[in-house]
Structure 1
Amino acid sequence: MLATLVGFLGDFDRAEEAAQEAFALAAQRWPDHGTPDNPGAWLTTTARNRAIDRIRRDRTLAEKIQLLPATEVVMDEYEETVFKDERLELIFTCCHPALALEGQVALTLRALGGLQTADIARAFLVSEETMKRRLTRAKAKIKATGIPFAVPAERLLPDRLDAVLAVIYLIYNEGYSGRIDLGAEAISLGRLLVELMPDQPEAHGLLALMMIHHARRQARYAGDDIVLLEDQDRSLWGQDQIDQGRAVLDRAIALGGRGAYVVQAAIASLQTREQIDWPQVAELYRRLAELTGSLVVELNGAVAVAQAGDPVAALEAVDRLDLDGYLYFHSTRGELLRRLGRDADARTAYLRALDLATSTPERRFLTRRLEEL
């Protein structure tokens, strides 16, 4: 409904105001007169007409009114099929590269996730006023620069789709870190994107990746303690969601998907098997590193090499990486050195990681490792 109104009015704030008025009117009328046969169409039509009336009353917008259709609609007879699905246009508008990344994320959660500003602020640990300013800046930038409410041209679609996927994955990772359940919001957005772009393998790959990871969320912590993959209680995993994620991954592969999100989903799927094929996981990480050029991916690949039985080669690979300011670089070095019996060097690595740790679970895990040496 909001996507339709934004597309019609070209203004996020007016669209939200009109939607609120329509819902308020429905709450007043429907208990006495009954729910319309097509409530979605009733709400959208009512909101559209209310917005037109509001603009007509605003004399400063008199010239713009001439461009708006004046046809009145009998609400209960309006066919919902007249409204095309404009959610895809809204996704690409919210994730336009001209907007700051923080604005893209906030606007996506507000317009497509339906979260209130206060909820988004809590999720990202900022004040509600700060989040209001982010949303206001993003909306103003859309209006001032004329960012189109449209799906990009085919030649631009791959790059723009990557931006959309990155925003959704960023939202998921914020949820995965233990704040309010943004993980579920990101999965909902992923499902929406797959529904709207069913032939895009990377959209399927991202959805599969998030679903498989999210299925293990209950087992990742025991109180304030991090639980490593090999120590997790598999009875806490959501096996149904893992199976659904694998089915989505199969669809991505059938579509010819070989991109970064598909490879990451394949890794996540392998890591939920009863017997993990670590050499295959290491090979997939090698392929992912080629796709992304990411040193963090290379670090994760080294962990897989160690799990496959070669901690010496893994440590050599880690020591070639320039990641001194990265917490997990030092904690990974500590783990590998501990396995190799180099306790003094492991202690130094764990202490450096502890200096970089910010969350209570991370600090507890590293402190426990130091105590075990």
Structure 2
Amino acid sequence: MRTLARLLVMVLLTGMAAAVSVPSTAAPATFAHPGVLVSRGQLDFVRAQVNANAQPWRAAYDQMLASSYASLSRTPHPRAIVECGSFSNPNFGCTDERQDAIAAYTDALVWYITRDSRYAAKAIALMDAWSATITDHTNSNAPLQSAWAGSVWPRAAEIIRYTYSSWPNAGRFATMLRNVYLPEVRNGNTNANGNWELTMMEASLAISVFLEDRAAYDAAIAKFRARVPAFIYLTTDGACPRGPAGSSIDTCAEIITYWHGQSTFMDGLSQETCRDFTHTGYGLSSISHVAETARIQGQDLYTELRDRLRHALGLHARYELNAPPSSLCGGTITRGLGPTTEVGFNALNFRLGIGMSNTQTYTETRRPQGTNGLFVAWETLTHARNPN
């Protein structure tokens, strides 16, 4: 009898483990290209809307084209060593690197929409300049800087490599991603604020798609899926949020400190909500970006993330627009969510049909959403009501 009972317990535990386990293999057998944040189908949809002067895409395109990022006279500013301290102080190449990456992505988008080869050539010139020069990132913000730029470079590279006729130095660019960026981001950072590791996994995933590196893809997805529940709280998690997997932050008292002193937890609360909405927006944006890239590669993460993501977008959109209750950060918040809602809103509301009134109001009243100058760029153009 005791043996039977033991056997039943083992079966139950095995079943529970199976229910929460992360598949060891997530990478597709064949990678889709372009396949980082935007797919060919999405790009074709955007191109058709812009050429038809349909809104909000035309206004978003005009905003992008008028920006300095789309300038054909832009001169790249590569550095062998990019040194970035906390809050980019010192700033030796930090801003230049991020802006050149966004410019390359901007030019790639303009190329695809217009078929004006000057923009493809400019994107290539920017990518080639950096791949011929950079060897390392240093100082305390090196992982985060690598993540910001490493999230954007592959978006540009995917579009150019798979839709333009010639890029002789594409192999050298791939080597740059593998040797300079991936080592800085692939292991994450469990004790930092959550936006760090989420953005690092976004970069790891984007790079793995361009490199068609299945091992890097699987590692990024596994780390990402463990991190999201430690960044966004649901009441089903229990009395306290989860600590980051692999960290020493595991008691309720430690978690409250890590969550910037917030001790009242509600659906959609983020680990960085009471720090400020700007850094929270970075994390929510990376969550949406990872889920979108995975979707393009044939993997559905939105189903498991949708409750956390919809509540988080809704909570922060609501209090970006309205005064918070005293239970949230003592009634005092630092706003600045930024242009970070389009991808998640499109996926959950437009594609899946989930009602998101606060997120909808915030998103639609701020269109066209532009760029935050770090790793978010032109998402009204690429993801507003995009069915593909």
The structure whose residues are more often helix, as a share, is: 1
Which TM bucket (shorter chain)? 0.3 to 0.5
TM-score (norm 1): 0.36
Query: Larger radius of gyration, structure 1 or 2?
Result: 1
TM-score (norm 2): 0.35
